[in-house]
Structure formats: C-alpha cells, structure tokens
Amino acid sequence: SFIGEESVAAGEGSILTDNPTWIIDPIDGTTNFVHRFPFVAVSIGFVVNKKVEFGIVYSCVEDKMYTARKGKGAFCNGQKLQVSGQKDITKSLLVTELGSNRDPETMKIILSNMERLLSIPIHG
C-alpha cells in the first residue's frame, strides 16, 4: 500500500492496514518550502502490521540523510546517532510546531499543551 502526505492533506482518505505500506511526504515542511525557509525534507517510512519498520529523511538543504530501522538504531550520513544523557528538563531545548489546523477545538488543545510546556523553565 501507499500513503502520500500531500494527497491526504488535500482531503483524500487513507486507512493504515496491516499490509506493508509506504508512507511518503515528498515535501516535508511544505510551509517552510513555500516561504523559502531552508528546512525542508523528503520523508519516507515503511510500515508493516501498523508498526514502523524503518524511516528515511533526506534534509535537502543540509544534504543530510537520516535513517533508522526498528531495533537497529538511527544514523545521519552513516554515523550512529544517540539521545543525549540529559535528564534535567530545565536544560533542554523546546522546539514545537503549531500545525496548520485552525479549528477552534484543535487550537484550544494545542495552546493548552503549549501553556503546560512553557510553564516549565526550559529553553525555547
């Protein structure tokens, strides 16, 4: 099966089944792309039985290829990635995305979540 983000965003329905499925977003960061903000990627995932098996993200402007496979780790241009050992959330960096849905109920949830996050003394 195949699910394309751009077609779903345009209103086409999609149902994730147990079938092996490619999920592709050819312009991940469409809003960035439209505004010429240089953080755009091609994102591809492969799912079997509704579980992600591997993913690939190519950051076009940076010329970086991120890959990850279930149980095998994550890599950037072939170099293994790892999470930081930081356990103190006040020393973390918050990066967020508001999304494109401006439905009042959705916005309430997003803003409520943001308020909870911003009440923590974190960098952002």
d(C-alpha 112, C-alpha 9), whole Å: 24
The DSSP secondary-structure symbol of 19 reads S
**Residue range 36-40: average pLDDT?**
90
HEC-encoded secondary structure of 33-52: HHCCCCCCEEEEEEEECCEE
CB within 8 Å of 34: residues ≥ 6 apart = none
Does residue 82 register a pLDDT over 80? yes
Percent of the chain with pLDDT over 70: 94
Comparing 13-17, 33-37, 68-72, the range with the smallest average pLDDT is 13-17
Q: Which residues are annotated as a binding site for Mg(2+)?
A: 5, 25, 27-28
Higher-scoring residue by pLDDT: 17, 41: 41
Measured in whole angstroms, the distance separating CA 90 from the mean position of its chain's CA atoms is 23
- For the chain, give the mean pLDDT: 89
SS3 category, 29: coil
Higher-scoring residue by pLDDT: 11, 58: 58
Comparing 10-19, 56-65, 109-118, the range with the smallest average pLDDT is 10-19
CB count within 10 Å of CB 110 equals 17
pTM confidence score: 0.77
Domains for the chain: give ranges and CATH numbers. 1-82 (3.30.540.10), 84-123 (no CATH)
Q: Which residues are annotated as a binding site?
A: 5, 25, 27-28
pLDDT given for residue 123 in this prediction: 79
pLDDT given for residue 9 in this prediction: 59
Closest CA to 54 of 41, 39, 40, 44: 44
